[in-house]
Amino acid sequence: MKQYFQLALTALSMIAVILISAALTLRIALHGHELSVPNFSGMTVPEASDAALRSGLDLTIENKFYSTTVPAGRMLSQAPAAGSRVRRGWQVRVTESLGPQQVTIPDVAGEPLRQASMDIRRMSLDLGTMAHIDAPGAPDVVLAQTPPPNAGVDQPRVSLLLSSTANSASSAFVLPSFVGLSYAAANHAAAALGLRVWYIADTPPAAPVTPKPPQAVATGPGGIKLDANGQAIAISATPAAPAAPAAPVGPVTGQKPESGYRVNRGDAVRLIFGHTVSQSTNQAGN
């Protein structure tokens, strides 16, 4: 009985050794020749072929696609991915880039804007910047285009130069700064831009000085008033002339609207000066 158990145990041990050996042999057979797939992205076709040959892999170009980021003739993608473990001789499928897609620009010169826009979008292009310039004839007609007709481009965007009549041209412009200019210079600059000028002072004007007649101290014959020297005081029959309007002096210290605002011809601009002095004051001071 004891001998029977020894034979059975020996048989089981041998079977276990055989199974373990078979498993090891199978693992070595399956994974002993595995290797890591290199990264073919960005390589040219010859470079990718040499790398695959050195690694013992079979390289196959499966597809070709347009790409705006990968130059033409270089690898765009691959399967299996880089770093994957495969057996020697495994087939690696790659996609070659054809580069950016070249688009032919249509000729839209002389067409109205609506028709030109339809022709551009019909070619799967985008309408870019549109500028206007005064030109005889109907408005919104294409005078020039960028890129030129029949040019091959990578970025499908077409900019147009359109005609514009004098009546349709906008009179709006950006208001410049008048700060620091004198009244004459600011008024001349505003008139050149077609603006009306109003001016105010940020300090009150000096009060006009009116010469006072000499005070009578005595009365002569016939009721004539005499001054301290005994001379007759002349009384004018005409009323005193009104004071001349105040003339601004000094540089412009502010303006409304401020510079940078969008205005049109004929708008009013308020200029603020440091102070104003009346002409009558100057005459009185002299």
Instruction: Indicate whether 190 and 147 sit together in one domain.
Output: no
Instruction: Indicate whether 210 and 269 sit together in one domain.
Output: yes
For 127, the domain range is: 103-164
Total of domains in the chain? 3
Tell me the C-alpha distance between 42 and 135, whole Å: 51
267 is a domain residue: yes
The CATH number for 201's domain is 3.30.10.20
Residue bearing the bigger pLDDT, 229 or 272: 272
Mean pLDDT across 167-182: 71
pLDDT score of 257 more than 70: yes
The confidence score (pLDDT) of residue 3 equals: 76
Residue 27 φ then ψ, to 5°: -65, -40
pLDDT score of 281 more than 50: no
5 is a domain residue: no
Instruction: Indicate whether 63 and 151 sit together in one domain.
Output: no
Domain boundary pick from 47, 67, 100 = 100
Tell me the C-alpha distance between 223 and 272, whole Å: 53
The confidence score (pLDDT) of residue 111 equals: 92
pLDDT score of 124 more than 60: yes
Q: How far is CA 196 from the centre of its chain?
A: 32
The confidence score (pLDDT) of residue 278 equals: 43
125 is a domain residue: yes
Instruction: Indicate whether 179 and 269 sit together in one domain.
Output: yes
Task: Region of 47 please: left (phi>0), alpha (psi -120 to 50) or beta.
Answer: alpha
pLDDT score of 33 more than 60: yes
15 is a domain residue: no
Identify the weakest region by mean pLDDT among 148-152, 198-202, 244-248: 244-248
Q: Let me know: does 254 contact 179? Beta carbons within 8 Å.
A: yes
Domain boundary pick from 135, 164, 193 = 164
Length of the chain: 286
pLDDT band with cut points at 50, 70 and 90 for residue 280:
very low
225 is a domain residue: yes
Q: Let me know: does 229 contact 142? Beta carbons within 8 Å.
A: no
Domain boundary pick from 52, 67, 100 = 100
What percent of the chain shows pLDDT beyond 70? 71
Tell me the C-alpha distance between 45 and 94, whole Å: 10
pLDDT score of 283 more than 50: no
Residue 46 φ then ψ, to 5°: -65, -40
pLDDT band with cut points at 50, 70 and 90 for residue 265:
confident
Instruction: Indicate whether 178 and 281 sit together in one domain.
Output: yes
Instruction: Indicate whether 281 and 177 sit together in one domain.
Output: yes
Q: Let me know: does 82 contact 38? Beta carbons within 8 Å.
A: yes
Instruction: Indicate whether 54 and 157 sit together in one domain.
Output: no
Instruction: Indicate whether 114 and 157 sit together in one domain.
Output: yes
Average pLDDT of the chain to the nearest whole number: 76
The confidence score (pLDDT) of residue 129 equals: 80
pLDDT score of 5 more than 70: yes
